[in-house]
Each structure stands twice: as C-alpha cells, then as structure tokens.
C-alpha cells in the first residue's frame, strides 16, 4: 500500500517497510531524500518516483541514516540516477551509511563511485565545487 503526503516543503512516499521523504536543502538545486526502512525489489518504486520528480535538480543527497537494508534493486536505482545526473553536470551523494548497507556498497564496489559522507551535515557542508 502506497500513500503520499505533503508537509510544508517535504514530500513523502511510503510503503509498509520503506519511507522516502523529499526535503529542500536550503541551497538552490539541492534536494535531500531521506530513506527509512528497507529498500529492496518490493519497495524501490517510491524511491524511483521521488528521484524522477527531481528534474532540474543539480544535486541529490541521499540521507541513509535510517536505512536498515538495501538490495541490488535499490542500488541499481541509485546508480541509474547518478548516471542521469552526471549527464547534465549534476551529482548524487550518499550520507550516513550504516552496516549492513555500507558493507553492500563496499562489496559491490559501488562505494567508490559515490561521494559518501559520514552524515547529512557533512554532505550539505560540501558544495563540491572544483571536483
């Protein structure tokens, strides 16, 4: 069951095991997607929809601090979005990875292709200029 809600400058999409919240970062062109729960084949659609809704965004920061699990389907959604953003000079960054999510990114080699920050504050403090 999927529900959509809006609170101020936040959008939310939820399944029973997964929630994605869209937040404006306070910097033009930068959006934060906060993930909660388990991202897998059965729950990836709300994330895919939230990412597709970010046309014109130059940077997306994925806050993974409340993400407990991510499988290859979730990883592929993130990798495809990263490539799409790169084509237009944008980027997708990750913040707050916890084990076992971080371990999956490390084992697959995906950790090397993303900028990974300890937390959301660190990610938002890095403008990424010159990189």
Provide the CATH number for the domain around residue 45.
3.30.750.24
Structure confidence at residue 4 (pLDDT): 37
- If one counts the domains in the chain, the total is 1
DSSP H helices in the chain: 44-52, 72-87, 101-108, 120-125
Please indicate, yes or no, if residue 81 is contained in any of the structural domains: yes
pTM of the complete model: 0.86
In three-state secondary structure terms, 53 is: coil
Residue 78: inside a domain:
yes
Parent domain of 96: 3-124
Among the ranges given (31-40, 48-57, 121-130), the one the predictor scored with the smallest mean pLDDT: 121-130
Question: pLDDT, tens digit, for every residue of 120-129?
Answer: 999 999 976 5
**Is 28 inside any structural domain?**
yes
In a domain, 131, yes or no: no
Residue 70 lies in a domain: yes
For 77-123, the pLDDT digits (tens) are 999 999 999 999 999 999 999 999 999 999 999 999 999 999 999 99
Q: Which residues contact 5 (CB under 8 A, 6 or more apart)?
A: 11, 12, 14
Give a yes or no: residue 129 inside a domain. no
């Amino acid at each position: 069951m999927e529900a959509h809600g809006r609170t101020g400058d936040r959008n939310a999409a939820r399944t029973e095991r997964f929630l994605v919240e869209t937040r404006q970062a306070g910097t033009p062109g930068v959006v934060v997607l906060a993930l909660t729960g388990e991202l897998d084949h059965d729950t990836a659609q709300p994330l895919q929809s939230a990412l597709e809704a970010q046309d014109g965004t130059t940077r997306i920061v994925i806050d993974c601090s409340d993400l407990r699990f991510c499988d290859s389907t979730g990883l592929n959604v993130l990798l495809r979005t990263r490539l799409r953003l790169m084509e237009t000079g944008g980027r997708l960054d990750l913040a707050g990875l916890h084990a076992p999510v971080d371990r999956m990114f490390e084992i697959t080699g995906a950790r090397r292709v993303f900028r990974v920050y300890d937390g959301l504050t660190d990610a938002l403090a890095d403008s990424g200029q010159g990189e």
